[in-house]
Structure 1
Amino acid sequence: MKVYHLAAECYPVAKVGGLADVVGALPKYQNEAGLQAAVVLPYYDRKFVQESEFDVVFEASNLLGAKRYEFEIWKERTNKLGFELFLIYMPGLLDRPEVYSYPDEREQFIAFQLAFLDWINWSQQKPDVIHCHDHHVGLIPFLLQHSALYKRLAKTTTVFTIHNGQYHGAFGYDKFDYLPEVDMAYAGLLDWGGGINPLACAIKCCDKYTAVSPSYLHELSINSNGLEYLFYIEGAKGMGIINGIDTEVWNPVADPMIAGPIDAKEPDAGKLANKQALCERFGLDVNKPLVSFIGRLVIEKGADLLPQALTQSLREHAGDLNVLVLGAGDKDTEAALVQLNEQFPDSYKTYIGYNEALAHLIYAGSDFLLMPSRVEPCGLNQLYALRYGTVPIVRRTGGLIDTVVDFGDEGGYGICFNQSSVDDITHSVRRAIELYKNHEHLHLLRKRMMALDFSWTQSAKQYNQLYESLNPII
């Protein structure tokens, strides 16, 4: 079975968030299970591309409105990611270093989708499944079915995965002429709220859509930035599949980015070695419990609550708590967090930006990872934390519900709270400090966490079974 994954991000080619981690891992595990899975991305002028070798396997041009663009399909030569990687290079639109935030972003992703369809159409490639990820490629299922240009591909199975239902990629009908000729009898499938909504269109037209956790699938009909009713009426097409993690990249025994191995059977010595390296780097006391935050400093992640909540916790537990924050996002939140460095110079540190190697060391060296998310479709950070024996402190939402059980419950291993609020965060930090003082219990929880299996093996199997159910003759 031939499967093409289409997305805006893929680790390590171009990463902004968790979407990249999923697209960079799932196809590899699918190939190991016997599928032919490939990834198609826009071209990005970034380090991975600059340091890799590619062959041009297709050349053509297409119209975007009144302007014609030449494009090329580049194939990475060695399959070093564990799957075939294709990039679509289009001078003037798909030739840039950054993934998002360009003023013509809508045009970028429309051009990406049209170039992909033209390629598989004219090169006589016919995949069994086209797996689209998020709104950036949400027009694919509609165009396959309702544009005469792609009639040959009209019956191709499409699966659409929602990584974050808050973002729709909507745009006005002034850009309708960017699309190829479509059957106007079905043009209403493009519409939601008086504009063209790629996410809504994908939900209407795909054969099956998935959310990245069962709980998030349920939440979409309650909170999806205006698409709640659509998810309610299309609920029978939905399926929740929890994301996995790449256990080769995130391997506490052989991770080259951490200070030393962490043995799942006896994790305390390895945890301490990594904590010592981390605390030495930031000038923190290794004997205090270390609570860390890694992620985008945005409202969805509850980051706006951090300055007040961390201030209260550091004051309440003066001399008995370390805090480390790694992230970037809202500038006011960044400034407020940086200011805490001056207020608590011996117990608090902030790193503004993102550093992959530092993130690995923080997962390995921290005692607790804080995730006060308002929205968390799946969450990967808590899975990385569990893999490295770090207790996740999470708000009960989305995939955090499905992956973290409070240590006060039978078989539990994490710290859970119900509201994205300062009070709930500070209360959870109190629980963390009390747990830290109970060395035997913390040791037990570390072993329990590290024995959990959140690899892509099981999740990839569910996707493969989904494809087979939609292609029963294959």
Structure 2
Amino acid sequence: MEKINILMVAAEAAPYVKVGGLGDVVGSLPPALRKLGLDVRLILPLYDAIDRKKFALRKIFSNLAIAYAAQTYRVNLYATFFPAGRTPVYFLDAPEFFSGPEIYPRQGQSDRFLFFSAAVLSVLPSINFSPDIIHCHDAQTGLVPVLMKTIGAGRFEGVKTVFTIHNFTYQKKTSPAVLKKINLDIQTCHSLALDARDGDINFMVQGILNADQVTTVSPTYAREITTSFYGAGLEKIIRRRRADLTGIINGLDLDFFNPARDPFLVRRYSARCLSAKKENKLAVQKAFGLPVDEKIALSALVSRLVWQKGIDLLDEKCARLPGQLIILGRGEQDQEKRLKALTRRFPKQISVQIKYDEKLAHLVYAGADIFLMPSRFEPCGLGQMIAMRYGAVPVVRATGGLKDTVSRQTGFVFQDMTQPAFFGAWQKALDIFYQQPRQWRRRQSAGFRKDFSWTKPARSYAFLYRHLLDRRTKKN
């Protein structure tokens, strides 16, 4: 079978630069696809936050000319390989657009990613790589397919595009006037004219309307976003592409999230020795300033502290439950303030640490008995998979990837986005923890046995790519 060439375009990818789940996915999928025999390469912006020495970046091209906003910018192209395997990664160096400490600054995002999208297509001939498919991730790269059809017309004939929605609510909007910077206007193509009717250009909309295939990160989320409740105002747009919409569950980096080898744990363990979790539990209780007692049920939440995650359901009622609650994360200031107030009121039951700490997060997963994800929506979710990988039993709402990955055999699922429904599922988990230890251990073991590797998702993407190329062949 002829090798398929894939160019992935994204705003972030672990381990180089990561803000959220997008970075985890884009950092894991290319190497997994390469193991299946696909020639996959990734291109990212070269932000100031990326450590050039640590990741052995080498300059492969200098002073490449990019026409943008009636000027000619000179960019450099760097390259390295993913730490695992020989998957190439390219970095576009343009200080005028990618400098500064933030990946997603409040000002200038549209300019940053419009330039990035145009520059990717401009520098592609320099790397001597002819992709069969360009796979774009999230709204930051949503203009790539329309640019291929307009200013890139002729150069990309026959090249297919895939656009993956990681979170439908994170849309990039800008004034239609910005299009002049790349010699376009709203009359250039139908999708731009349609989009501009409401007074802006939405990068997410352009990705959806112009890509040959649209994917998102779970089958349930793919169905949900066609509804008004989950559609973030774009449900009518995504319905236009319903026939070309596929949901593929993300995987986990099983080497990084491995309690048997995790360097961040006090005691490593496997499914065969789950009792060793207790040493991590005692360490977590101590780290969060709670009474140290292995017999007390320890519930945990590791998350961005935002409305989407259902953080507002957590209030003083948590302190009335028979157990302890720890929360690790950062987010909206009002939520942070409210949660810190709960810690002051109930210091023996609730403890909150307002920060993102990868090492501490691993210890929390390893020490927790129960892992909470009461999300209003969750495109895929990694927390519930990590929790099961570490023997913590998840309590989740039946939405998106949570519904697709957690069952009654591995956790506790509630339907309604209400406090009674959430606390009812949480209380049921606590009842079984205290009263039915054998059933609790069965749930832990069932979660441990689930395959969350990238093998199955990578095969699904490979099948999708081949299907797209088969359609191209039949059309020709």
1:171 alignment partner, one of 162, 171, 174: 174
Aligned residue among 29, 34, 37 for 1:34 = 37
Change (3 A) 1:8 1:191: farther
Q: Secondary structure at the match of 1:463?
A: helix
Query: Please, what TM-score do these two structures have when normalized by structure 2?
Result: 0.92
2:203 to 195, 198, 208: 198
**Equivalent-residue separation in structure 1 for 2:423 and 2:446 (angstroms):** 25
Deviations 1:378-424 (A, max 9, x none): 11110101111111110111111111112xxxxx2211111222222
Structure 2 residue 114 is matched with structure 1 residue 110: yes
* Aligned equivalents of 2:135, 2:350: Cα separation in 1: 43
1:84-128 alpha-carbon deviations (Å, 9 max, x no partner): 111111012113332112411100001111111001145553111
* Separation of aligned partners in 2, 1:123 and 1:393: 47
- For 1:301 and 1:190, how far apart are their aligned partners in 2? 35
Which secondary structure state, in structure 2, belongs to the residue aligned with residue 72 of structure 1? strand
Matches of residues 249-268 of structure 1 in structure 2 within 5 Å? 249-267=256-274
| Structure 1 range deviating more: 273-282 or 159-168 | 273-282
The answer to whether the aligner puts 1:272 opposite 2:278 as a matched pair is: yes
- Say if 1:189 and 1:204, in contact at 8 Å, map to a contact too: no
Summarize deviations over 1:233-274 as a string: whole Å, max 9, x none.
Answer: 21001111111111111112111112222211332x221121
TM-superposed deviation, 1:57: 1.9
Whether contact under 8 Å (1:292, 1:370) holds in the other structure is: yes
Indicate if the aligned counterparts of 2:31 and 2:82 stay in contact, CA closer than 8 A. Answer: no
Conserved? CA contact 1:121–1:152, under 8 Å: no
Q: Check if 1:161 corresponds to 2:168.
A: no
Give the CA deviation at 1:31. Answer: 1.2
Q: In 2, distance between residues paired with 1:188 and 1:250?
A: 42
Q: Corresponding residue for 1:391?
A: 393
Q: Distance in 2 between matches of 1:183 and 1:429?
A: 51
| CA–CA separation in structure 2 for the residues paired with 1:63 and 1:454 | 43
Q: 1:58 aligns with which of 61, 78, 81?
A: 61
Quote the residue 1:428 is aligned against: 425
Distance in structure 2 (CA, Å) of the matches to 1:107 and 1:347: 47
Separation in structure 2 between the aligned mates of residue 326 and residue 81 of structure 1, nearest angstrom: 29
The aligned counterpart of 1:294 is 302
Quote the residue 1:6 is aligned against.
9
Partner of 1:142: 146
Q: 1:215 to 1:294 in 2, by over 3 A?
A: same
Partner SS for 2:31: helix
Q: Hey, what's the Cα distance between the residues in 2 that align with 1:398 and 1:3? A: 27
Contact 1:6 1:137 in 2 (8 A): yes
Q: 1:69 aligns with which of 69, 73, 79?
A: 73
- Given that 2:191 and 2:209 are in contact with CA atoms closer than 8 Å, whether structure 1 keeps it comes out as no
The amino acid of 1:433's aligned partner reads: L
Letter in 2 for 1:464: A
Contact kept, 8 Å, 2:256 with 2:262, in 1: the verdict is: yes
Matched, 1:125 2:129: yes
- Find the aligned partners of 2:201 and 2:50 in 1 and give their Cα distance: 34
Partner Cα separation in structure 1 for residue 120 and residue 183 of structure 2: 13
AA aligned to 2:231 is S
Give the counterpart letter for 1:57 in structure 2. I
In the alignment, the residues of structure 2 paired with residue 158 and residue 394 of structure 1 have an alpha-carbon distance, to the nearest angstrom, of 34
Partner SS for 1:114: helix
- The offset of 1:64, in angstroms, is 2.6
Which ranges of 4 or more aligned residues in structure 1 deviate by more than 6 Å? none
Note the C-alpha offset of 1:187: 4.6
Residues 213 and 243 in structure 1, CA contact (< 8 A), matched pair in contact too: yes
Deviations 1:160-203 (A, max 9, x none): 11001112212111212122457945254464233212111111
Alignment-mate amino acid for residue 292 of structure 1: A
- SS state at 2:7 partner: strand
Provide the rounded CA distance (Å) in 1 between the counterparts of 2:188 and 2:348. 66
Distance 1:255 1:4 in 2: 32
Task: Give the length in aligned residue pairs.
Answer: 460
d(CA) in 2 for partners of 1:65 and 1:237? 34
In structure 2, the CA distance between the partners of 1:34 and 1:123, relative to structure 1 (3 Å rule), is closer
Structure 1 partner of 2:467: 469
Give deviations 1:268-300, integer Å, cap 9, x for gaps. x22112112212222323321011111111111
Return the alpha-carbon distance in structure 2 between the equivalents of residues 470 and 186 of structure 1: 23
2:337 corresponds to which residue?
335
**Equivalent position of 1:95 in the other structure:** 99
In 1: Cα distance, 2:378 partner to 2:53 partner:
33
Cα distance between partner residues in 2 of 1:352 and 1:154: 50
- 1:409 maps to none
Query: Quick one: structure 1 residues 64 and 136, their matched pair in 2 at CA, closer, same or farther if it must change by over 3 Å?
Result: same
Provide the rounded CA distance (Å) in 2 between the counterparts of 1:25 and 1:396: 26
CA RMSD in angstroms comes to 1.9
- Shift of residue 225, structure 1, vs aligned partner: 1.5
AA aligned to 1:451 is R
Task: Give distance in 1, aligned partners of 2:164 and 2:328.
Answer: 28
